[in-house]
Amino acid sequence: MTEITHRRIASQSGLRMHVAEAGEGPLVLLLHGFPECWYSWRHQLTALADAGFHAVAPDQRGYARTGGPADVGQYSILHLVGDVVGLIEALGGGRAVVVGHDWGAPVAWHTAQLRPDKVRGVVGLSVPHRPRSSKPPVEAMRRMFGDGFYMVRFQEPDVPEAELDRDRAATFRRLMYGASGDSSGAAAGWIAPEGGGLLDAIPEPEKLPAWLSEDDIATYVAEYADSGFTGPINWYRNLDRNWELTTAWHRAQISPPALYVAGDRDTVAVGAMHAVETMADFVPNLRRTVWLPGCGHWTQQERPAEVNDALIDFLRDL
């Protein structure tokens, strides 16, 4: 079986990043989302390596073994894209295929949009490309979903991470199960009840689904031992700032070849159906959209075989 190895790389963005990697060949960067780390790509690292690719999954800025700066302003989309471009350079230069899930998907889409010269292809899992909106996003989400919506609550200092860090094993169990295709959907939207916290809206599962074990939960807890949730939540605290910083790319197209994969029980993808259906207007080289029946939000962990097949087919066609 192909071995996954680990090392730290000094990205040209100035951040020393932990990466997990496997294989040799054309570079494929795997960008995780919230609340995850390199481990969410464990099934893809070996499959891509066996298919002849150099698969690299970093812990992104603020996460797990990479960690990050204390300054909230250092978690903008320009910093995140800079980390990806810096990794591409540190891993030999040239171009890479960037694959992103959840928050990693906007990083992948923006990397392809801002630096198409560094991107051979781009893949988004769960989160489609959304063109820049006409107004800042946080107030729009507050009006639409209320103050309890998790992205709005994450704007508060200190309180969100204190809740999620209190019992990390329970946090991962609730978040991972609650957004999966195996849940009842009762936690859809991640909206905290009035006077309560986010986790109050997401019950503890009676048992974990087949794709997620207690050992997996323990691994996530161990990976977060030193860094906690502050860095990951800082990404959300830059939502309005990202809107300001990307003015020059308002409704700009994404030119590299693209693939989109999502589960039909993923509330993120289903809730963004208009963006999915019109994505080719802004991603004109969108090769394929793949829907995975019964799959929830954790695409590459819930349906590793199907995701691996879609990725390898896309990579071989480039």
Calpha distance 2→126 (Å, rounded): 27
Say if residues 175 and 298 touch (Cβ distance below 8 Å): no
Sheet (strand 286-292) strand order: 5-10, 16-22, 54-58, 27-31, 96-101, 119-125, 258-263, 286-292
Of 97, 70, 66, which Cα lies nearest the Cα of 318? 97
Residue 102 is a catalytic residue: yes
Residue 182 is a catalytic residue: no
Active-site position among 59, 83, 102, 182 = 102
Say if residues 135 and 144 touch (Cβ distance below 8 Å): no
Our measurement of the distance from residue 223's CA atom to the centroid of its chain's CA atoms, rounded to an integer in Å, reads: 16
The one-letter code for the residue type at 129 is: H
Active-site position among 18, 79, 129, 297 = 297
Task: Enumerate the active-site residues.
Answer: 102, 297
